[in-house]
Amino acid sequence: MPREITAFSNPLIKRMRGLRDKRHRREEGLFLAEGLRILTEAREEGHLPRFLFFTGDGAEHPLLGALIEATETAGGEALKTSADILSKLSGKDNPGSVVGVYDELPTRLSLLDRTAAPIWLVAERLRDPGNLGTILRTADAVGAGGLILVGECVDPFSVEAVRASMGAIFTVPLARTEWGDFLSWLRSGPGTLVGLSLDTDHDYRGPDYPAPTFLLTGNEAQGMPDSYADACDLLVKIPMAGKADSLNAAVATAVMAYTVLDKQRRD
């Protein structure tokens, strides 16, 4: 039977609120996710929360009932609370009816199997959590093997990035690494590294993209360093017909990912 928490001063609420801070997330090894649909998809992927906070308004929903039962069966704790407390946990004025607290997912490069998919996404020094979440959604949509984050990227387990991923944080394998380690891993087996760049004459629609293709997107403001571009097997660009010189990083990644997928399917 779920217990009820109604006080903002409750020690568990204070502790869970701290997960909105990167340092506390790292210390706890936990992160927040919100929304019944997202948490249900996480359950379907085998991920259940340590703590499940929900409001009485949503308690009768069959999906929430299934989530509560699965959480408690797995040893987690379900807690009934108020919308105001959920708002404090999530940082949103109008939170969903449920918030889950999950163990951080493994992010070791060595856990990835490059043969698992014909396309992989790689992001270098990505800074915006919305872009990171959107790229995770793109990875899920195209069936990418995973997303590899290189260098000092924004935390993929931040509330903002998890929210922007719309559940893809639970469905897309994720790795965090440094450039040298990534390049060594990449060159230890099959894989073509394709970089998005403005400094090339290769139109993105022209080349073939042999599997597995690793699609590299650089930092939103600076692009990728010259040494990273030099290490790519191919640099391509998306031509701009208007006054803008480039697309948003997440949009460009999505355009490229579907282009690579389309080319691979035609081969």
Predicted local confidence at residue 95, as pLDDT: 66
Predicted local confidence at residue 238, as pLDDT: 92
Render pLDDT for 123-179 as a digit per residue (tens, 0 to 9): 999 999 999 999 999 999 999 999 999 999 999 999 999 999 999 999 999 999 999
Task: Report which of residues 88 and 243 the model is more confident about.
Answer: 88
Report the CATH number at residue 195: 3.40.1280.10
DSSP string of 15-58, one letter each residue: HHHGGGSHHHHHHHTEEEEE-HHHHHHHHHTT---SEEEEEGGG
Last residue of one domain, picked from the residues 53, 71, 103 = 103
Q: Which domain does 182 fall in, by range?
A: 109-266
Task: Report which of residues 155 and 96 the model is more confident about.
Answer: 155
Task: Report which of residues 244 and 231 the model is more confident about.
Answer: 231
115 and 87 housed in the same domain: no
| Rg, Å, the chain Cα set | 20
Instruction: Tell the residue number behind the tokens 């997960």, with chain if given.
Output: 19
88 and 117 housed in the same domain: no
Residue 93: pLDDT over 80 = no
Share of the chain above pLDDT 70, in %: 98
Last residue of one domain, picked from the residues 44, 76, 103 = 103
Predicted local confidence at residue 58, as pLDDT: 60
Predicted local confidence at residue 92, as pLDDT: 77
Is 102 within 8 Å of 47 (Cβ atoms)? Answer: yes
250 and 155 housed in the same domain: yes
Containing H/E element for 222?
none
Q: How far apart are CA 32 and CA 101, in angstroms?
A: 5
177 and 53 housed in the same domain: no
Report the CATH number at residue 11: 3.30.1330.30
120 and 221 housed in the same domain: yes
118 and 220 housed in the same domain: yes
89 and 117 housed in the same domain: no
pTM of the model as a whole:
0.93
Residue 196, CB-side half-sphere exposure with 13 Å CA sphere: 30
162 and 49 housed in the same domain: no
92 and 117 housed in the same domain: no
96 and 121 housed in the same domain: no
Last residue of one domain, picked from the residues 71, 103, 135 = 103
94 and 120 housed in the same domain: no
Task: Report which of residues 261 and 198 the model is more confident about.
Answer: 261
Predicted local confidence at residue 105, as pLDDT: 96
State how many domains the chain has: 2
